[in-house]
Amino acid sequence: MAILGGMLRICSYLVPILLLLAGAAQALDTRPTIAGAARFVDADTLDIGAVRIRVQGIDAPEQNETCTRADGSEWRCGLWATGETIRRFEGRHLVCHDLGQRSYDRVVGTCLADGEDIALALVRDGIAMACPRFANEHPHSRAYIDAEKEAAFAGTGLHAGPLNPRAGFCLDPSDPARVTGVSAPAIRAAPARDAPPHSDCAIKGNVNRAGERIYHLPGQRHYDDVRMNHPDKRWFCSEAEARAAGWRPARR
């Protein structure tokens, strides 16, 4: 009888837990999905039809960003990361789950290709990095943190150069060090200078006194007035890249 009573008590504890897990699984199954052929803006932003999606829990260099190799030389890692992502996933049928968040009007979601989480694949191969402050918001993306540690240890992809903390999207604003304790590669946006780093990257990303992010095209009224002398200002290679990063076009 004592054994039976103990089993009943265990069952009474398990039932609510099982119901909770069942409810969570049902919630995942009912998330809005966007499915179709993918077109990538960069390694962490893509379009499916008219919907722009920001892949949750990761960050990748913009197309105009450069990295430092172990020998001190620079390489255009932003173009490399975008190219590698396009090579693997461009045009493939993706199923992206809308997580209910928005980033500059982009759907924030997790995307699967034949059941494979593309974010996990990109982090594992050093094409993108985990963002701990966002990865921790969703259980599925906590695996990105461990995958980044493995990629960093192996010196894969973006982790092949000097390991210096990267300031930016992935950084916890309350801590100057990466949450994971793994230092990210020395990735730099195009230098804050008046001459663009490349002739095809001449769009100026300005930040005004109100904190608005506005990009200016060559020939626009205030283009020459924008001084690229602040680390928050950035050069862009295309309007799509600027919009994906959160900048809006100048009105004149």
CATH of the domain at 133: 2.40.50.90
Same domain, 208 and 166: no
Backbone dihedral angles phi then psi of residue 245, each to the nearest 5 degrees: -85, -5
Same domain, 81 and 167: yes
Whether 197 is in a domain gets the answer no
CA 194 to chain centre: 28
Which residues on adjacent β-strands are paired with residue 102? 107
Round to whole Å and give the CA distance between 39 and 243. 15
Residues 6+ apart with CB under 8 A from 87: none
What is the pTM assigned to this prediction?
0.60
How many domains, in total, are found in the chain? 2
CA 224 to chain centre: 31
What is the mean pLDDT for each group of 10 consecutive residues in the chain (252 residues)?
48 46 49 92 92 92 79 83 94 95 86 96 93 75 87 85 46 38 44 58 83 88 81 79 85 82
